[in-house]
Structure 1
Amino acid sequence: MRRRAFISAAAATTTTAVAGCLGDGSDGEPTQTDEPDGTETPVPTSEETRLEDSSFEVENVECGDEYGGHDVTVENGEVTVEGVLDGSNSCYTAELVRGEYDGDADTLYVEVEAVEREDAEACTQCVVEIEYVATFTFENGKPGTVSVEQCGSATGSASSSVSESESGSGEATETATPQSTGY
């Protein structure tokens, strides 16, 4: 109990002693000047946008020829990339190679690529469509730009896009598939 009383008394004494040091030494009359003194308080900025969570899921792998495109949707602090890659056969799947946010560039970089599954044993011999969804959740805002690159394996199909985030628009950006020039 004596410690509490001692600490309270010490705090009160320190506050009283310091109070006299806080004055500017003038006669108490305020002075005004039109020139800045260089001690302006910086305007507080909001917290920086940051990537909080991400997920990647392959939704479907089947024979087909509708591949190479992707859509980007930005809504409520969440960026969703839905795309379709091609694979050489049914032993292929998609993999998120890169999913990172660069705060200096205010850009989310997404790279998806078709890869052969390690556990594959018997594979259907057809070009497959690999459908995937990548989701990125942000805190304190959303990225100003989303850059998506994806690369298939069978036909060399690829798509790439950069989309600017619109405030709350939720609009999707679709990128056409470049056509293969030969096989």
Structure 2
Amino acid sequence: MGAVAIDMQRRTILKQAGAAMTVGALAGCLSDGGSPGGAPENTEDESTPTETSTEETTDETTTEETTSEETTAESNPSLQNRSVEIVNAGCADGKPEEASVEFNESESTVLVTGTIRTSDPCYVPKLGNVNYDRESGTLNVTIRAKKKEGEGVSTCQQCLGAIEYESEFAFSSGVPSSVSVSHESQGETKEVTSAGHGSGEATEGA
């Protein structure tokens, strides 16, 4: 075989060997990397699950215990009206100074009647201090004797006087629990009587 033929044969063998190496290299790349460009063939979409915690909110309704305490002031009646008028005026002739209290629950009134002793008969009864404590249900009344004014006063009888009066107190609903009566005459004030509701009519004299 000549030198030229040997040289050509050697070149053919080298070309075949180079082609075989190129194919092997490509096969290895495809096996390791998947698709061309280095992108992974199977991309797993791993989603991190969001843990949702459902908190049950208990709607606790706090019920405040309201104690309906009706105060004594609200349960007792209120004083609506008051009045006093003269019944008679004259010489005392031994008449005592006195007063009486009458409770009329059906009409929600308290009637006070009495006699005030004065220096002479020329006096008239007037309402003095009237204090009503609604909380305790206590009525304190002062009836005072006032000297008459005008014609005829100078001709008044010269004797000790006895002024009889009647005084009424009207309430909203019901009557007070107790009543005390004082007289104011000749510069002096003194309690004449007191009465509690349920005791009926109370009469006391000085």
Q: Structure 1-normalised TM-score? A: 0.67
Corresponding position of 2:88: 60
1:174 matched to 2:200? The reply is no
Checking the alignment, whether the CA contact within 8 Å between 2:192 and 2:205 is kept in structure 1 is no
- The 1:140/1:26 distance shift into structure 2, 3 A limit, reads farther
Task: List per-residue Cα deviations over 1:49-80 (Å, max 9, x = no partner).
Answer: 10011111011101122131111001122111
Distance 1:133 1:104 in 2: 26
Contact 2:100-2:193 at 8 Å conserved across structures: no
What residue in structure 2 maps to residue 71 of structure 1? 100
Q: Is 1:112 the equivalent of 2:137?
A: no
Instruction: Measure how far apart 1:41 and its partner are.
Output: 2.4
Identical positions, percent:
27
Unmatched tracts of structure 1, length 5 or more: 1-24, 32-36, 178-183
The letter for the 2-side match of 1:125 is Q
- Which whole-Å CA distance do the structure 2 matches of 1:157 and 1:43 have between them? 42
Higher-Rg structure is: 2
Deviations 1:136-183 (A, max 9, x none): 0111321111011113439x79552221111xx6x2101122xxxxxx
Moved over 4 A (4+): 156-159
**Offset of 1:42 from its aligned partner?**
3.1
The answer on whether the counterparts of 1:84 and 1:129 sit within 8 Å (CA) in structure 2 is yes
Q: Could you say which residue in structure 2 is the equivalent of 1:142?
A: 175
Match of 1:94 among 117, 125, 131: 125
Matches of 1:78 and 1:145, distance apart in 2: 12
Asked if 2 retains the 8 angstrom alpha-carbon contact of 1:68 and 1:158, the reply is: no
Q: Structure with the greater relative contact order (CA < 8 A, sep ≥ 6): 1 or 2?
A: 1
How far, CA to CA, are the matches of 1:122 and 1:88 in structure 2?
14
**Per the alignment, do residues 80 and 95 of structure 1 end up closer, same or farther by CA in structure 2, a change over 3 Å counting?**
same
Q: Point out where structure 2 has 5 or more consecutive residues left out of the alignment.
A: 1-56
Q: 8 Å contact 2:121–2:163 — kept in the other structure?
A: no
1:133 is paired with a residue whose SS is: strand
1:52 maps to amino acid: Q
The structure-2 alpha-carbon separation of the partners of 1:38 and 1:150, relative to structure 1 and needing over 3 Å to count, comes to farther
- Provide the alpha-carbon RMSD of the alignment: 2.7
Q: TM-score of the superposition, structure 2-length normalised?
A: 0.60
Distance change (3 Å), C-alpha of 1:91 and 1:132:
same
CA contact (8 A) 2:76 2:137 kept: no
The alpha carbon displacement at 1:48 in A equals 4.1
Query: In structure 2, do the counterparts of structure 1 residues 116 and 47 end up closer, same or farther at CA, with 3 Å as the change threshold?
Result: same
